Amino acid sequence: MRWLLPEYFEDILPEEAARIERLRRLLLDLFAGRGYELVMPPMLEYVESLLTGTGHDLDLRTFKLVDQLSGRMMGVRADITPQVARIDAHLLNRKGVTRLCYCGSVLHARPAGLAATREPLQIGAEIYGHAGIESDLEIQRLLAAALAAADVRGARIDVGHVAVFRAVVRAARVGAEREAELFEALQKKDLPALRALTRPIRPRLRDALLLLPELFTVQLFATLPDTTSEVDSIRWLAEQTPRYRALFERLAKRSGLLIAAGTAVLTATYFWDPLPAFAVGLGLALIVALVIGWPTLRLKGHYLAMATLAIGLIVYEIADYLVDSAHEHLSGSLLRDGQAGRGKQLPAPGARRGQV
């Protein structure tokens, strides 16, 4: 039948297309609000440009064809990230920090999994020009905000460091080809392939590599060579998880938004301890309830109903704004402080280029 599509390709029908477009606009607006500029790389590039600095896995996933104008080999992008890096390095070439975002279709010669499409829509954001871990923290928080905006529930962000893997394979003295195979197996969490590839490696280093796909602690690698700074970086990132934000959200669900708002402002802005801040927030909520509720209860009928709805909406918007502002203030303070000199200070979005 002529109308059948190739395997792992599909048509997007109106309802699903509208949902994808709404989500695309939502995330790009979120990125733009955080200071990330949109770029649109081409779908096709010459292979030597498209695959420069990438691994063997991306080469296998790239569709290749001959350009009829020049006779040179071209590739259909399988990942937009290297293209954005090329734009930053060779076209923009700015001094200081550059924040870029992108969204577009990519094409895979092989599907990533049984349920995957060969034409996924890729969206992302990148920071260039900053070597400190503060930029990793900013991207991590941007990812968490994007997942929340997309209403993705129960998500878990795994934080790792490729230098830990490199330090282990360097100590094991494996060749470049075997290193690439090990890295691909780790990315896929393919334990049988990993066991087969690590058979010739010394037991201690082999055990370390076998633990990497399922490791959720950094204690083991603190004793391995050349991993001290990477382990410290991972530990610091783990310590910067938005614990205060989780506290604010729990308070908002269980105790009312006004209490959460008062606690958020005092904790994040004035660095109070959570317990005293909660007590003051509770008192503030009671005072506001008395001031607003006493005259409101003197109304009757439809007027009482309309006043109740209006006051509820106004209080909700104000309290929600205070919680979000407190969270942003806390995040900005952590980024500015840089945890006592970790890397260079990361300038805020919109800062003049060159000021780092």
pLDDT score, position 2: 73
Q: What's CA 218's distance to the chain center, in Å?
A: 21
Each residue of 289-316: pLDDT tens digit? 777 777 777 777 777 778 777 777 776 6
How would residue 29 be classed by pLDDT, with cut points 50, 70 and 90?
very high
What is each CA distance from 189 to 63, 192, 205, in whole angstroms? 25, 9, 17
Run of H or E including 57: helix 56-60
Domains of the chain: 14-129 (3.30.930.10), 162-239 (no CATH), 243-341 (no CATH)
Each residue of 188-232: pLDDT tens digit? 788 888 889 888 888 888 888 887 777 654 444 444 445 455 556
Is the model more confident about 85 or about 242?
Answer: 85
Taking the C-alpha atoms of residue 72 and residue 46, their distance in angstroms, rounded to an integer, is 7
Examine the pLDDT at 4 and tell me if it is beyond 80: yes
Percentage helix, strand, coil, to 5, in the chain?
60, 10, 35
CB 355 within 8 A of CB 96: yes
Each residue of 127-137: pLDDT tens digit? 999 888 788 88
37-38 and 121-128: which strand pairing? unpaired
Each residue of 257-283: pLDDT tens digit? 555 555 555 555 555 566 676 677 777
227 Cβ contact list (under 8 Å, min separation 6): 163, 164, 167, 168, 221
155 Cβ contact list (under 8 Å, min separation 6): 147
pLDDT score, position 84: 95
What is each CA distance from 232 to 141, 173, 203, 215, 229, in whole angstroms? 19, 24, 25, 16, 5
Taking the C-alpha atoms of residue 239 and residue 323, their distance in angstroms, rounded to an integer, is 21
Taking the C-alpha atoms of residue 349 and residue 139, their distance in angstroms, rounded to an integer, is 13
3-state secondary structure of 344: coil
- Identify the burial level of 165 via C-beta atoms within 10 angstroms of its C-beta, where 0-12 means exposed, 13-18 middle and 19 or more buried: buried
A 10 A CB-CB count for 230 gives 21
How would residue 348 be classed by pLDDT, with cut points 50, 70 and 90?
low
